[in-house]
């Protein structure tokens, strides 16, 4: 009773996916202990004994034999002693393989990661390295090759604890090669793969919402089943499905996350491309039509995120992986729930729910195509780039003519809805967008795009 009173305000018992997690908090420090009792549910009956041992440990009175046996940094009792648990620390988990290091997104992620964490051992795949790449990043290992070089990619992935695939997220060979290599890795590894909210477009399955608002806003928590069940013809679906399959088959050793940005604005910070995609495409189309434009009534809404805020989500995921996973839902989680009935002995039932949850949307705000077109018209008119401050509504036929080699491009980029909320990043990563808003950056992005055409 005395021991219970002394510690009654200290322990908080939590049931985790892997076992029992006991968190002890005092005014001066935090102590976290994981107790894994998987394999036999009879382990529950040992909780009172374990609790006594925990209290002995906090008081410094734990028997030396047990203290040595359970020590984090103990030495083997004999050659080949396999009783020592395998622990992962940030020093151990620091070998990275990175794709897309010179693209707008991938380059920004790479540069920010290299600067924030120079202690990480980074290896990057580049088809044509910039001339000054090695002088900018002397400690980064460079592998020259393309996404078609399966053996090179697989070998690099097999050597990495964490693979950050932020190059062409739709290149199936590259992704399959990465996964093949990662499954040869000698321990648990992490894959963070780039996707995009183009997968949410209604078109071409329906034209109902072309140029018109769709009230549906996707949450990566509340709507996770819909997000991972998109039609086979949806953008990015084919490679996303490869990750889903790998997570289902190898989830114990291959931890995965899919990062799904909306349209991105702001100037990148990588060693290659620094311009976004939407604004340059919009400027290109404006030059053809002579005015900023929208389809139908232009009320279709799209999510947006500043490149710096999106990069921070990536970095937070990487840091969580380095820490052994953190509180992130990596891929396909197996949840256990227990109904324990105490009669004359311990009874229980186990129910498992297998759901892919490592899906991270990234939108921080929304804007309609009409609002964007009208704001763009005012800016470009004031800069002397167009003859009128008015935007115009165009027809489906005019939209298709903007990109004759790929007529869907105009509808995807300027006519569809793509609405989403970054609920999982906020919940699991503590993500809070901090960068300037889309409207604050629109003028500078437009002028960068205009300058690039001259």
Domains of the chain: residue spans and CATH: 14-62 (no CATH), 95-335+343-452 (3.40.50.720)
Spatial distance between the Cα atoms of 310 and 109, rounded to a whole number of angstroms: 9
Instruction: Specify the pLDDT at position 83.
Output: 45
> Within 13 Å, how many C-alpha atoms sit on residue 284's CB side?
14
Length of the chain, in residues: 454
Exposed (0-12), middle (13-18) or buried (19+): which is 86, by Cβ within 10 Å? exposed
> What percentage of the chain carries pLDDT values higher than 70?
75
Instruction: Specify the pLDDT at position 20.
Output: 41
Instruction: Specify the pLDDT at position 345.
Output: 34
Spatial distance between the Cα atoms of 428 and 446, rounded to a whole number of angstroms: 34
Spatial distance between the Cα atoms of 334 and 280, rounded to a whole number of angstroms: 43
Spatial distance between the Cα atoms of 286 and 288, rounded to a whole number of angstroms: 5
Instruction: Specify the pLDDT at position 70.
Output: 61
Phi-psi region of 332 (alpha: psi -120 to 50; beta: other; left: phi over 0): beta
pLDDT in tens, 272-310: 999 999 999 999 999 999 999 999 999 999 999 999 999
Exposed (0-12), middle (13-18) or buried (19+): which is 409, by Cβ within 10 Å? middle
Tell me the three state secondary structure of residue 80.
Answer: coil
Helix ranges (H only) for 70-188 are 104-116, 133-136, 150-158, 172-182
CB 142 within 8 A of CB 133: yes
Which residue reads 């300027």 in tokens?
Answer: 414
Instruction: Specify the pLDDT at position 357.
Output: 92
- pTM, entire model: 0.78
- Of 65, 62, 54, the closest CA to residue 25 belongs to 54
Mark the ranges of the chain whose per-residue pLDDT is less than 50: 1-8, 10-40, 72-91, 93, 334-353
pLDDT in tens, 76-122: 444 444 444 444 444 454 699 999 999 999 999 999 999 999 999 99
Contacts of 6 (CB under 8 A, 6+ apart): none
353-392 exposure pattern, b = at least 16 Cβ within 10 A, e = fewer: eeebbbbbbbbbbbbbbbbbbbbbbebbbeeebbeeeebe
């Amino acid at each position: 009773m005395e021991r219970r009173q002394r510690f009654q305000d200290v322990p908080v018992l939590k049931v985790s996916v892997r076992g029992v997690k006991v968190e002890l908090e005092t005014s001066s420090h935090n102590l976290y202990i994981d107790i894994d009792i998987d394999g036999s549910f009879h382990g529950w009956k040992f909780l009172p004994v374990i609790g006594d041992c925990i209290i002995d440990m906090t008081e410094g009175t734990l028997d030396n034999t047990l203290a040595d046996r359970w020590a984090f940094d103990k030495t083997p009792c004999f050659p080949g002693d396999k009783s020592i648990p395998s622990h992962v620390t940030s020093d151990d988990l620091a070998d990275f393989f990175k794709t897309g290091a010179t693209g707008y997104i991938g380059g920004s992620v790479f540069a920010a990661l290299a600067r924030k964490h120079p202690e990480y051992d980074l290896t990057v795949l580049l088809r044509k390295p910039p001339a000054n790449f090695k002088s900018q990043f002397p400690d980064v290992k460079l592998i020259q090759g393309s996404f078609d070089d399966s053996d090179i990619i697989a070998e690099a992935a097999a050597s990495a604890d964490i693979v950050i695939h932020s190059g062409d997220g739709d290149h199936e060979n590259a992704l399959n090669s990465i996964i093949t290599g990662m499954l040869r890795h000698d321990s648990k590894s992490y894959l963070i793969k780039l996707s995009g909210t183009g997968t949410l477009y209604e078109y071409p399955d329906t034209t109902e919402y072309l140029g018109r608002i769709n009230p549906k806003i996707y949450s990566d928590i509340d709507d996770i089943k819909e997000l991972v069940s998109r039609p086979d013809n949806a953008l990015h679906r084919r490679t996303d499905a490869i990750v889903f399959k790998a997570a289902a088959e190898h989830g114990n050793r291959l931890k995965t996350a899919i990062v799904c940005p909306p349209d991105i604005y702001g100037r990148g910070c990588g060693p290659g491309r620094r311009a976004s995609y939407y604004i340059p495409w919009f400027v290109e189309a404006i030059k053809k039509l002579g005015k900023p434009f929208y389809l139908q009534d232009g009320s279709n809404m799209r999510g947006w995120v500043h490149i710096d805020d999106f990069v921070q989500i990536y970095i937070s995921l990487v840091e969580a992986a380095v820490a052994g996973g953190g509180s992130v839902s990596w891929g396909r989680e197996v949840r256990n729930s227990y109904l324990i009935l105490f009669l004359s002995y311990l009874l229980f039932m186990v129910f498992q729910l297998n759901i892919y949850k490592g899906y991270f949307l990234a939108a921080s705000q929304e804007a309609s195509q009409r609002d964007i077109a009208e704001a763009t018209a005012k800016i470009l008119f004031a800069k002397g780039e167009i003859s009128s401050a008015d935007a115009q509504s165009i027809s489906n036929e005019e939209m298709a003519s903007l990109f004759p080699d790929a007529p869907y491009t105009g509808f995807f980029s300027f006519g569809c809805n793509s609405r989403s909320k970054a609920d999982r990043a906020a919940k699991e990563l503590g993500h809070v967008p901090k960068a300037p808003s889309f409207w604050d950056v629109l003028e500078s992005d437009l002028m960068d795009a205009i300058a690039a055409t001259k």
